[in-house]
Structure 1
Amino acid sequence: MELGSRPEEPGRAFLVGSYVFGVIAGFVLGLYGVVLVASGPRPGGTLISVGLLLALIGNTGVALLVRWLTGTRLGAMIPLIGWIPIVLALAASRTEGDLLLKATVTGYLFLAVGVLAPVVVAVIGRARRGLTALPPVMERPRVPSR
């Protein structure tokens, strides 16, 4: 590979598959995360929420994976398209009064961490392709000094 040349771009079908994977993974993480927010070990009476850990590790991991697959900053945000609607739907109370995501510190932390993890992944680092990618660095010819 020559200096300053870019690696070959992935095909359109691969990118579409990567984005669809990100949406589905975000949906699954949101569904399991809401259900598992209230469960987990309680050492010393303090809850270590499995759902909160899933939001932190899962949302970060999927955002990193989709960003790596697509090479764009948008790729890191795609899991939120599946995550946010299912979490908000399960957090809304029904007419019977049933509620899965309660207004507790753990519930609010789950929402904040779940949304901020992909945002942090999108902001940190440089994109390989897309509108936010920097052009490849080209080496300047050296001018002999006198």
Structure 2
Amino acid sequence: MTEPGAWMTKPLKPGRIAAYLGLVVLGFLVGTAGSLVQAAWFPVGLLLALLGVGGLFYGGLRATGTQLGVVAPAAGWIVAVLLLSAGRPEGDGLFAGGVGEIVFLLGGMVIAVICATMARLPQPGSHTGRLGT
């Protein structure tokens, strides 16, 4: 099993960089779709949007095996949500400021933190750290 923070000291390969950039783009797309769905079909849309966010963040963790696999899509998600929640000078905005929007914003952030702090499964062939095994 790798040490905590080891992903910061290893050189990034082009494939890994492309995977993280792809996760950022997926996070942006899921954030945009979730913002539209949660407002359109409240409360089912809100649940669907949060399930999509959770699936993306957990999938990023499992696909990369690092917390950066959660941070990358979370960064894209938060950028999309913040851009869509900011009002325009004309007063137009996607979010009306109701309970659903707040639950979507806070729920997505909580899901990102939960996924980033989850225990990772040991890699195949790694030692358990117990004596005599």
RMSD: 2.5
Would the alpha carbon gap of residues 139 and 127 (structure 1) be closer, same or farther in structure 2, given more than 3 Å must change? closer
Shift in Å at residue 88 of structure 1? 0.8
Which residue identity lines up with residue 63 of structure 1 in the other structure? F
Q: Provide, for residues 61-110 of structure 1, a one-character-per-residue CA deviation record: whole Å limited to 9, x for no partner.
A: 11111111211122112111111112111101111110101211101001
In structure 2, the residue corresponding to 1:111 is in which secondary structure?
helix
Instruction: After the TM superposition, list the runs of 4 or more consecutive aligned residues in structure 1 that deviate by more than 3 angstroms.
Output: 138-142
Q: TM-score, normalised by structure 2?
A: 0.77
Would the alpha carbon gap of residues 49 and 39 (structure 1) be closer, same or farther in structure 2, given more than 3 Å must change? farther
Matches within 5 A, 1:1-146: 12-40=13-41, 47-50=42-45, 52-126=46-120, 136-138=127-129, 140-141=131-132
Larger radius of gyration: 1
In structure 2, the residue corresponding to 1:102 is in which secondary structure?
coil
In the alignment of these two chains, the number of paired residues is 121
Check whether the contact 1:22–1:63 (CA below 8 A) recurs between aligned residues: no
Give the Cα separation in 2 of the matches to 1:105 and 1:122: 25
Would the alpha carbon gap of residues 138 and 115 (structure 1) be closer, same or farther in structure 2, given more than 3 Å must change? closer
Gaps of 5+ in 1: 5-10, 41-46, 130-134
Question: Identity over the aligned pairs, expressed in percent?
Answer: 32
